[in-house]
Every structure is written in C-alpha cells, then in structure tokens.
Amino acid sequence: MEDFISTLVWAAIIQGLFLVLLYLFSKKHQSFANRLLGLFLLVIIYEGTLQFMPFDYIFGYSLFYFALPEVKLFYPILFFHYILEKVGRSKFYWKFLKIHYLLAFAVMGITLINVGLYLANNQKIEEYFGMSLVSSLFMAQQYYAFILIIICYVLTLLEIKRYKVIVHKEYSDYAMLNINWLWRFVLTILPIILLWGAELIRIILGAGSGFDFELVTWGAVVVLIYFISYQAFRHKNLFEGIEDDLDKRENGSWIKEKKRPYSNDYIFSEEKDAELIQFIKSYMEKEEPYLNASLSMFQLSRLLKIPERELSLLINHKLNKHFFDFINEYRIKKAMLLLSKPENRNKTVLEILYRVGFNSKSSFNTVFKKITGQTPSQYRKNSLVEAKTN
C-alpha cells in the first residue's frame, strides 16, 4: 500500500510541477489568482517531496525539526487568498492575510537559525534549546496550521455563498453564477483536512501504530492535484472582471453621487418612484444597455444617473425583482423578437445570444427556457410556423 501511494505521489508531484510552471511563468495563464494557485501547488509539492524522500540525512545533517523550511502555515493562507481573489474580497481580509503571511515566513526563518548553528558549531537547535522545547514548537505550528485551515475553510464557504448572492442581486451575467467547479475544488480539500485532523488527534492521544492517516492523506492530496490539473485547462479565469467592481464596493467608492437617504420621505414617495421606474423602463427599451454582457448595477446606475442604492431599492422592492432577472428579461425579449423574424432565419442561435448580451449558449438556453417555457430552437420554429399561418 505504501509503495503504491508513494508511486502515485511522485507522479502527482511531476504533474503538479508542470502546473506550477504554467501558472507562475506562462503569459497565457497570467493572473494574480493563478499565481496564488501555483504557489499553493508548489507548497504541496515541496511537502510531498520531503515526505517521500528516501533518505533522512544530507552529509550528516539530520532532516528533522526545522532542518528544512516548514511551510504548513502556507497551506491555509494561500488556499484562502486564492478563493478571495476569485470572489473579489482580498482587500477586505488584507490585514488577516498579511499577519499570517508574516507568521508563515517567520516559521520558515527558524530553518536559517538551524542551518547557521549547524554550520558554525555542527549542532542543531534541539541541542541548544532542548528536544522537548523544539518538539513542542514544531507541533505547535502544526496545530496552529490546522486550526487556521479550519477557520479559512469556514470563511471560504461563507464568502462563496456571499459572492453568489451579490452576483444575483447586482450582476446580469449568468456565467458568473456558474461556480460549481469552485465548490468542487473546496470540497476536494475537505477530506485532506479531516484526515490531517485525525492524524493530529492520534498524535495528541499518543496512539501507537495503527491506521496510517498520513499515508491516506497523501492519497487525497494526489486526487486534489489531478483535480486541479483537470480543471486548470477548463477554467482559466472563471470570475474575470468582477474583482475590481467588488473591491470598489467594499472600499466605499462604489459611487460618488450624493445618495438620497432611505427616509420616510423616500418610502412613501410613490409618485416619484413611479416616475423613476417609468424612466428606467423607457431607458432600457430605447438605449438597450442590457446588450452589454457584463452590465452591473453599478454601471447601470452611472448610465441612468441614479444612485446605486436607490436603483437597487427600486428594482428589488418596487419591481420585486433581482437585478439579474430584471436585465435578463430584457435580453430574452430581444432574443424572442430576433428569433421570430423571418429575415433572421439564417442566423444561428449562437449569433443571436451574443447579440442580446449573453456570453454562453448554456446560460442563454437556461434563462430562455425559464422565462418562455421553451428552448430557443423550439420558440423559433413555432414562431416561424405561426408567421406563415398568418
């Protein structure tokens, strides 16, 4: 069993190294999020290489207790930072990230002290400070890394959920809701966390040799590396374009206009609200801003010269719609018009969906059927038949 897992790990290390090089140095796949993912993989590869090396000494230098840089604290922080980049929330957590990056580098720095002492006096830190203290420090950083990954994992789940809510309320691009692969990535991490925790509990309880949690953990790591390898070539930058808008929103610079306060005067100003809603509808029909596939609440508020908060209240509370549904209804109406015209019969559905503001066929088909109860092709066929009959 051990030889089998070892072989798989070395194969995964080679595969992972290829991805690291791709994400860190390829211009085609260049983005800060991808670089974070590359560094996350690099840390895993480094740890796997140390774990499965066939020797424990280098020229008499023992490879135990901070002999080589400890990188476990980088696991949770790089994982969490990558997710935050994808959902546009890095700036919100910057202090948290900064503190833990500094702590992770500080733990790595212990190795420099260790090597320096060995080169100067042929002794390691456990011989200077005692095995008990060094062993306790070594395990403490492992326990802290595990606690940190639990915290980061919970925050990750909350942030992805928050992202989905915000996209539904303030963005019109259906593809931005397609985050199934990110959920799968997060869930693939879960078995590794659970096995890591089981191994630490075994150590705390002082249990003897039994089920090898560490070996099985590395089997789960192999699955993670190949999962990332598979997804890497399908999703280059899944949430490309959202980060800047969300960062502006978090930093309070979402809009500069003077906002109308949410007061009793606003709540009961039915006549004013009716005028604004009529103005919004008229603008949507004449100017067709929904043809922009990446249209957001922020962008539309600028076009209408209505504060974003007020526009959101009008759409959500007066029209009882999410921004996502509000915009896509206009897109589908436009698509229905184009599909029903005989002169467009030679245009493909793909051409029409791009023209009305969608950027993927699956997204268009899903929204179209939700609104009309038919697929685009069925609707076109029925419309053309009805036009001939009339």
Amino acid in the structure at residue 65: Y
Spatial distance between the Cα atoms of 316 and 308, rounded to a whole number of angstroms: 12
Q: Which helix (H) or strand (E) holds 62?
A: strand 61-62
Q: Note the pLDDT of residue 361.
A: 87
- Where a domain ends, among 272, 288, 320? 320
Same domain, 361 and 282: no
Which of the residues in the chain have pLDDT under 70? 1-2, 28-30, 173-178, 207-211, 232-269, 390
Q: Note the pLDDT of residue 263.
A: 37
Please give the tally of structural domains in the chain: 3
Same domain, 87 and 170: yes
Same domain, 172 and 219: yes
Spatial distance between the Cα atoms of 342 and 317, rounded to a whole number of angstroms: 39
Q: Write the CA distances from 15 to 4, 58, 230, integer angstroms.
A: 17, 26, 11
Q: Note the pLDDT of residue 384.
A: 80
- Where a domain ends, among 293, 320, 347? 320
Same domain, 292 and 193: no
Same domain, 189 and 241: yes
Whose CA is closest to 77, among 107, 97, 106? 97
Whose CA is closest to 70, among 56, 50, 54? 50
Q: Note the pLDDT of residue 232.
A: 65
Spatial distance between the Cα atoms of 74 and 141, rounded to a whole number of angstroms: 11
Full residue range of the structural domain in which residue 113 is found: 2-247
Q: Note the pLDDT of residue 197.
A: 93
Residue 155 lies in a domain: yes
Q: Note the pLDDT of residue 172.
A: 73
Q: Whole-model pTM above 0.75? A: no
